[in-house]
């Protein structure tokens, strides 16, 4: 794990975390729970992110909320449990990334002239102290964390010159000139945020950053080969949870030791059952005889029958999986009952409250 220990972070550095999205790509998991509040390796994902921010030495944090805003306030309180001074600021309407940053930053006082901004659904091991140091050393108006990806055609890309200065923001193309993409972590001079138009949606990626380039302002790219994962899909969510449990992804909020599986209070497995590859078993989960749970997330109160195989899947709270069932690359929503002898494969998503009868049926897609 990369740590910064707060080196070089002054009292004038604050953080804004954007958590207002509805997480539509993760439905049905986000039908009633905001994406940053989903149980992720035993705690809401926002807990892992805040642990990293506190570890870097930042103390003042503002969360820009929208969808189910009250859930954040109920869980986080004033942030003292994380060693932070935290405030949730709901958006009156969806304001986009740039508008959301400006709206949330208005809760900071005038002394906070340097603001780190985080997307609330990114799991990252970036050295926050190093990002701040590059921002200050380059004299940039804004600095972006950039990551190199194997397939940059799936992203807009951000080329930089040999000094790290951002040259352009390019849309997706079949022949990208660089493999560097925006990783969703920024540092801004406060006056740059204050200049973002208020009262309307603004995209920081499509409007704010290109506008700064057009005006000749300095944007710096901090490129780092650390862990990075966008948790926006069920497949990525499962992988991120497993990486946290196994110590591949950094966190100071894991509620147990790093290992092949994480079992929360009251979780029970039969003597002949196995859990591996970074599986999380939530509170009071029961796993029956001969069952195997591999690289999966089983949420609080779920019941797994005998001779069940669950691989790279999410089982929602209160769900029941019948005997002799296979769940592979699937999402089973809250309080779903799956009968014995079923097969759920190929990205199936079962919405909350469904009941699937016995009979060895095979499902793919959504139900």
The encoded tokens of residue 358 equal: 């016995």
User: Of 297, 327, 295, which Cα lies nearest the Cα of 309?
Assistant: 327
Q: Provide the terminal-to-terminal Cα distance of the chain, rounded to the nearest Å.
A: 40
Report the DSSP pairing between strands 314-315 and 331-332: parallel
Predicted local confidence at residue 23, as pLDDT: 64
Spell out the per-residue pLDDT of the chain, length 367, in tens: 333 444 467 678 999 999 877 767 888 887 778 888 889 999 999 999 999 999 999 999 999 887 677 788 888 888 888 899 999 998 888 889 999 999 999 999 988 999 999 988 899 999 999 999 999 999 999 999 999 988 888 888 899 999 999 999 887 778 888 889 989 899 999 999 999 998 899 999 889 999 999 999 999 999 988 899 988 889 999 999 999 999 999 898 999 999 999 999 999 999 999 999 999 999 999 999 999 999 999 999 999 999 999 999 999 999 999 999 999 999 999 999 999 999 998 889 999 999 999 876 666 555 5
Say if residues 157 and 180 touch (Cβ distance below 8 Å).
Answer: yes
Q: Which helix (H) or strand (E) holds 63?
A: strand 60-65
Predicted local confidence at residue 3, as pLDDT: 38
**Helical pair 69-76 and 45-55, crossing angle rounded to 10 deg:** 50
Predicted local confidence at residue 87, as pLDDT: 92
The encoded tokens of residue 349 equal: 């998503």
Predicted local confidence at residue 361, as pLDDT: 63
Report the DSSP pairing between strands 13-18 and 39-40: unpaired
Rounded to the nearest 10°, the torsion over CA 97, 102, 105, 111 is: 130
Say if residues 150 and 228 touch (Cβ distance below 8 Å).
Answer: no
Cβ partners under 8 Å of residue 300, min gap 6: 39, 264, 282, 283, 284, 285, 317, 318
Q: Which helix (H) or strand (E) holds 181?
A: strand 180-189
Cβ partners under 8 Å of residue 10, min gap 6: 114
Report if pTM > 0.75: yes
Predicted local confidence at residue 4, as pLDDT: 40
All structural domains of the chain, each given as residue ranges with its CATH number in brackets, are: 13-232 (3.90.550.10), 260-363 (2.160.10.10)
Which parts of the chain fold into alpha helices (H)? 45-55, 69-76, 96-105, 128-138, 190-194, 209-214, 234-245
Say if residues 104 and 89 touch (Cβ distance below 8 Å).
Answer: yes
User: Of 337, 333, 336, which Cα lies nearest the Cα of 323?
Assistant: 337
């Amino acid at each position: 794990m990369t740590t910064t220990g707060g080196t070089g972070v002054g009292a004038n550095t604050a953080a804004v975390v954007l958590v207002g999205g509805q997480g539509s790509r993760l439905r049905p998991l986000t039908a009633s729970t905001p994406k940053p509040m989903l149980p992720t390796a035993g705690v809401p994902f926002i807990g892992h992110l805040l642990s990293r921010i506190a570890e870097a030495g930042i103390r003042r944090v503002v969360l820009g909320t929208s969808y189910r805003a009250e859930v954040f306030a109920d869980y986080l309180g004033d942030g003292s449990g994380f060693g932070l001074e935290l405030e949730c600021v709901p958006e009156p309407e969806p304001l986009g990334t740039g508008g959301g940053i400006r709206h949330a930053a208005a809760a900071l006082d005038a002394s906070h002239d340097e603001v780190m901004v985080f997307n609330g659904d990114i799991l990252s091991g970036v050295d926050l102290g190093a990002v701040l140091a590059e921002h200050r050393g380059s004299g940039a108006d804004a600095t972006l964390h950039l990551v190199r990806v194997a397939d940059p055609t799936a992203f807009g890309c951000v080329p930089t010159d040999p000094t790290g200065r951002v040259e352009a923001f390019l849309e997706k193309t079949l022949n990208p000139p660089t493999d560097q993409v925006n990783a969703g972590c920024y540092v801004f001079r406060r006056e740059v945020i204050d200049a973002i138009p208020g009262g309307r949606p603004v995209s920081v990626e499509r409007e704010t950053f290109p506008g700064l380039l057009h005006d000749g302002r300095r944007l710096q790219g901090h490129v780092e080969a650390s862990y990075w994962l966008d948790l926006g899909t069920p497949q990525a969510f499962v992988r991120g949870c497993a990486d946290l449990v196994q110590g591949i992804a950094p966190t100071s909020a894991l509620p147990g030791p790093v290992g092949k599986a994480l079992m929360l209070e009251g979780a029970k497995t039969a003597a002949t059952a196995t859990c591996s590859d970074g599986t999380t078993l939530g509170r009071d989960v029961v796993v029956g005889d001969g069952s195997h749970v591999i690289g999966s997330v089983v949420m609080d109160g779920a019941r797994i029958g005998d001779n069940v195989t669950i691989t790279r899947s999410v089982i929602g709270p209160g769900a029941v999986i019948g005997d002799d069932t296979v769940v592979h690359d699937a999402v089973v929503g809250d309080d779903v009952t799956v009968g014995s002898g079923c097969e759920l494969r190929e990205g199936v998503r079962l919405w909350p409250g469904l009941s699937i009868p016995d009979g060895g049926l095979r499902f793919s897609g959504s139900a």
